[in-house]
Amino acid sequence: MPRHKSCKKRMKTAALCNTRNRAERSEMKKMVRDLKACKTKAEAQAKFNTVASVIDKSARHNIIHANKAARDKSRLMALISKLS
């Protein structure tokens, strides 16, 4: 356990940030899963804009790396282009 007052506060803050980051990462993964489940190209294209914005937001908040965000969006676009 921490002995300094500032360390105790950092533990509380870290726990709060951890739960917030976990929720945002979970929401992002759920949206990507929903996009991958789309059967038609039009439906997937409509969902892609919101998913891309959520991925970019996660990258801005340092929840995922910027390169991972770009890679994920690229792979999703390739998946959408294969749909008919």
DSSP string, 9-70: HHHHHHHHHHHHHHHHHHHHHHHHHHHHT--SHHHHHHHHHHHHHHHHHHHHTTSS-HHHHH
CB 56 within 8 A of CB 69: yes
pLDDT of residue 84: 79
**Separation CA 36–CA 47 (nearest Å):** 10
What is the Cα Rg of the chain in Å? 17
What is the 8-class DSSP label of residue 4?
S
What is the predicted pLDDT for the residue at 73?
97
Task: Give the model's pLDDT for residue 1.
Answer: 83
Average pLDDT for runs of 10 along the chain of length 84:
92 96 97 96 95 97 97 97 90
Q: What integer pLDDT is reported at residue 60 of this predicted model? A: 97
User: Mind listing the domains of the chain with CATH numbers?
Assistant: 5-82 (1.20.58.110)
